[in-house]
Amino acid sequence: MVKAYLRYEQASSFGVITSLDSNIAYDSTGKHILAPALEQVGIWHVRQGIRINTLKPTSSRTGPSLAVTSIAPSASTLVAVGYADGSLRIWEYEKATCETTLNGHKSAVTALRYNKLGSMIASGSKDNDVILWDVVGETSLFRLRGHRDQVTDLVFLDSGKKLVTSSKDKFLRVWDLETQHCMQIISGHHSEVWSVDVDPEERYLVTGSADPELRFYAVKQNMSQGSLVSDSNANGLVANGDHSTENKWEVLKPFGEIQRQTKDRVSSVRYNKSGSLLACHMAGKTIEIFRVLDETEAKRKSKRRLRRKAKKSSKDEDEMITGNDASNEVEEANSVPVPTVPDVFKLLQVIRAGRKISSFSFCPITPKDSLAALALSLNNNSLEFYTLKGSENEKTTTIEHQGHRSDVRSVALSDDTNLLMSTSHSEVKIWNPSTGACLRTIASGYGICSLIVPKHKYGIVGTKSGVLEIIDIGSATKVEDVEAHGGTIWSIAPIPDDSGFVTVSADHEVKFWEYLIKKKPGQASTELTVSNVRSMKMNDDVLAVAISPDSKHIAVALLDSTVKVFYVDSLKFYLSLYGHKLPVMCIDISSDGELIVTGSQDKNLKIWGLDFGDCHKSIFAHDDSVMGVKFVRNTHYLFSIGKDRLVKYWDADKFELLLTLGGHHAEIWCFAISNRGDFLVTGSHDRSMRRWDRTEEPFFLEEEKEKRLEELFESEIDNAVNRHEPQEEIPEEGVSAIAGKKTPDSLSDTDAIIDALEVAEEEKNRVAAYEEEKTKGKVPDLLPNAVMLGLSPSDYVLRAMSKVRTNDLEQALLPLQFSDALKLFSYMGNWSLIPEKVELVCRIETFLLRTHHDQLVTTPASRPVLSGLRDILPPRVKEFKDIIGFNMAVMDHLSHMLASTSDALFKDAKVKVAEMRLRDAKRTVDRSETKSERKRKKKQKRVEEGHGHALV
């Protein structure tokens, strides 16, 4: 009988607050911050400092996890997220549901931006292309090609009719989205342009690069009618009449430069929502905040500058020269002032963080008594929030408790598997492995290995400095530091009878320790301590240690690539295991004491017999160093981890690979398995910890082998296609192209369409043959086709077409032959009679006409079909548009009726505000009238009293 195994799958991932590959962003309410967490997006509540939700894509079981590379929130509850494979997902972040997945880029998405209406998204990528997406239709519109290097940033202009893109090729490009061509190329930068942004009023566009200055461009206004008119009054730029022809296409004109305070390159530049502040984030620890003056203030400042300049020149120069120049300056000062960049942009303050800043985001809601609120993501896996007040800033909150500041070097599970301890370079954290919640944080040294003491709530941490730290988990305090070794403690192993543990170090020593309970001086409470009972000196650095479950043997791995086995009681030599070419990094012994497994830097696993020391099997296990190996208790199944970011599940009896678990984004340093083997936890250089649970789903070895071969075959095909695909020449002026990308889903959709067309054609032939036989004589009734589920040929093909995702429709139709396209045209007349399918029919017909235009024109058989569609489709489209227009008009009428008859939701807020203001004004007038009346009466009373005294 074929043996079945139980599958392990990733259950959760925790420990990452924010990763480095993407930007952070506030949502539209300003209450939550969207932070990238490797392949997920965490939604953090700013005030409470907790993660309330996670946007996690569903991925294949064995495929690599794709990191988030860009985040762009909309004005609603939608957020667009770009990934490292070039895909784009639109999420409803309140419900944590993925609305649609868009595929078009061939490599990582590096820039994302919504237009003001939120109906369109522009995305830039490392493949040098820019793609425009229709959010409502969930499809791609077109691709813009022209940049010769990675697109770094982009921004919409002119109500979404223009697009400005920046790139590592040192150029800015201005695209006309209506004609889909590049209308302006801006040079002048001496290095890669990393970021670009424009203020909400679209007056000034700013770019940041590695140059020592920020460059500003004045944006021409009134671009909607095609004649671009320079806003010379607002921007201080007067165009010469000689250049009116070339100015017609110049959307951006150089406005000036500002020297930056630091030498680091610019990482990003962003205006706040109101446009009153500009933040320039350097690729370091600083953010420069500039105040943006409005037009009136800028002109006033320009006048003052000109007057100071006139006064200074009148004092320094000779009388005659001074008289002429001063008069010119006075005339210039009295004329219309021309603001410059220093007149508009003023350095307000510099924010200096404790660690390198990865990204930042302005809060859309301005807090009271402050200029703005700002969120920073740091490269030490933390978030900081600042409030800007004038020329000062105040750090309000920090989110850092839920993750380590650096990579996770060791993990350990308690006996009851309710606690998980992890160590890093400066702290120890205690977690709930079921929920991923951080329970305790204790400051410590650089922990390399760790252990939770059985039956006690204590932890033992071996550090890089050779100190053993004893941690009280309950009180979250460090009980004692024990000077244990003269070098790094590389490994720690518990003694099976729970009486102590063994440590090995770079000082060539193996030490045995036992637990002791001592009373605190002057107190009745007790605490744990350890005592060294035995030591063993080796000839080289000791890297790993393991003790057999019967406490009979101890195995230690040395730097000379050998493994020595000794008797535990007498410490006498028993066996020497040699065969690895590089040092052994990890050892483990099976529960029955029969097998010992070793993992090495030579990427191999070796399975040995502990009775004679013979090597049963040497397996090339990982593509990089093997960093950990452990048996599942009471079995001969084992797990191994490596620097190749993979977890592998093995059968040590059959020497077969059972499962490959991919998910981590960097080297895996450590892992721990529960006593029952129902789950394991891994810790990685990417600062994440992942829990892998054993499911009830069985799998068979042969099936897994076939899956791995299929995946390998598909990856080789993709690489071959990409390698032999002809490289297109990109014209300098920029062109547009079809936005789409071949994916396994689109290829399977194409196969499904072709199969449906073939089955429908066979059914039509069968029905025709039946009708012919029926005319000749009596024949039995025609049985329905079970394959077509009782549908007609037209409905069966329509069913296959309707299953294709909107974004994949063009890529699914592209490989179809001309004969298949003619078959589709023949069915479209019937499909157009179904109201909800009119839009689908129009999209299919338009694409097929563009693709097969030449053949359709020269094929006489296609003319009757196209003529019929020409007569049917336009009336159907008009009818569909009329229905939508009628419904919108009715909704608008209903909203007006409700607004006029009640205080319902549709009532205009402006009316309420006006009523409140009128009410407040009346109250103020009444109060003022009351005060004046009171004063008048008091005055009259005094006069009357005065007259009375005079009479007396």
Q: Where are the beta strands (DSSP E) in 220-365?
A: 252-259, 266-271, 277-282, 286-292, 345-352, 357-362
Beta strands in 687-747 (DSSP E): 689-700, 735-737
510 closest CA partner among 529, 531, 532? 532
For position 239, what pLDDT does the model report? 37
* CATH fold of 1-14+621-712: Methylamine Dehydrogenase; Chain H (2.130.10)
Is 442 or 922 the better-scoring residue by pLDDT?
Answer: 442
Q: Averaged over 70-90, what is the pLDDT?
A: 93
Position of tokens 């090609």? 145
Say yes or no to pLDDT of 224 above 50: no
Q: 682 or 299, which is more confident?
A: 682
Q: Per-residue pLDDT tens for 429-479?
A: 999 999 999 999 999 999 999 999 988 789 999 999 999 999 999 889 999
pLDDT score of 933 more than 90: no
Domain ranges of the chain: 1-14+621-712, 275-303+340-402, 744-880
Pick 228 or 444 by higher pLDDT: 444
pLDDT over 60 at 730, yes or no: no
- Tens of pLDDT, residues 248-302: 678 899 999 999 888 889 999 999 999 999 999 999 899 999 999 888 888 888 8
User: Residue 491's pLDDT band (boundaries 50, 70, 90)?
Assistant: very high
Confidence (pLDDT) at 166: 95
In this prediction, residue 173 carries a pLDDT of 94
Q: Is the pLDDT of residue 411 over 70?
A: yes
CB 666 within 8 A of CB 394: no
Any idea what DSSP says for residue 707? H
| Predicted local confidence at residue 541, as pLDDT | 94
Residue 608 is predicted with a pLDDT of: 95
User: How far, CA to CA in Å, does 853 sit from each of 822, 862, 863?
Assistant: 12, 11, 12
Question: Kind of pairing, strands 563-567 and 553-558?
Answer: antiparallel
Tokens encoding 288? 């420069």
CATH architecture of structural domain 275-303+340-402: Beta Barrel (2.40)
DSSP SS3 for 457: coil
> What tens digit of pLDDT does each residue of 867-886 get?
888 888 888 888 888 888 89
Asked, colleague to colleague, whether 1-14+621-712 and 275-303+340-402 share their fold, the answer is no
Question: Could you read off the pLDDT of 308-360 as tens digits, one per residue?
Answer: 877 877 766 655 444 455 445 444 445 566 788 888 899 999 999 989 999 99
Q: Which helix (H) or strand (E) holds 841?
A: helix 838-851
**What average pLDDT does the chain have?**
85
* Distances 639 to 9, 85, 490, 671 between C-alpha atoms, Å: 13, 29, 20, 9
For 596-605, 684-693, 775-784, 792-801, which range has the lowest pLDDT when averaged over its residues?
A: 775-784
Q: Name the phi and psi angles at 32, rounded to 5.
A: -125, 150
Look at residue 604 and tell me whether its pLDDT is greater than 90.
Answer: yes
Average pLDDT over residues 6-33: 93
Beta-carbon contacts of residue 258 (< 8 Å; ≥ 6 apart): 213, 214, 216, 290, 341, 342, 345, 347
Please name the amino acid found at residue 7. Answer: R
Q: Is 383 a residue whose pLDDT tops 90?
A: yes
pLDDT at 938: 67
Q: Is the pLDDT of residue 924 over 70?
A: no
Q: How confident is the model at residue 903 (pLDDT cuts 50, 70, 90)?
A: low
Residue bearing the bigger pLDDT, 412 or 772: 412
The whole-number pLDDT of residue 575 equals 92
Bridge pairing between strands 162-167 and 437-443: unpaired
pLDDT tens digit sequence for 825-845: 888 888 888 888 888 888 888
**Residue 588 pairs with which residues in a beta bridge?**
597
> What average pLDDT does range 910-924 have in this prediction?
62
Closest to 753 in 3D by CA, of 690, 785, 797? 797
Rg over alpha carbons for the chain, rounded to the nearest Å, is 37
Q: Quick one: pLDDT band at residue 926, thresholds 50, 70, 90? A: low
- Going from the C-alpha of 633 to that of each of 342, 637, 743, the distances in angstroms are 71, 8, 42
Tell me which of 141 and 923 has the higher pLDDT: 141
pLDDT of residue 329: 47
Strands annotated E in 104-180:
109-114, 120-125, 130-134, 139-145, 151-157, 162-167, 172-176
Least confident span in 59-73, 227-241, 527-541, 647-661? 227-241
Contacts of 241 (CB under 8 A, 6+ apart): none
* Residue 201 burial class via C-beta count within 10 angstroms: exposed 0-12, middle 13-18, buried 19 and up: middle
Mean pLDDT of 408-420: 94
8 A C-beta contact, residue 692 and residue 10: yes
pLDDT at 853 over 80: yes
Q: Evaluate if residue 940 carries a pLDDT over 80.
A: no
What's the rounded Cα separation, in Å, for the pair 269 and 198? 9
735 — pLDDT class (breaks 50, 70, 90): low
Give percent above pLDDT 70 in the chain.
Answer: 85
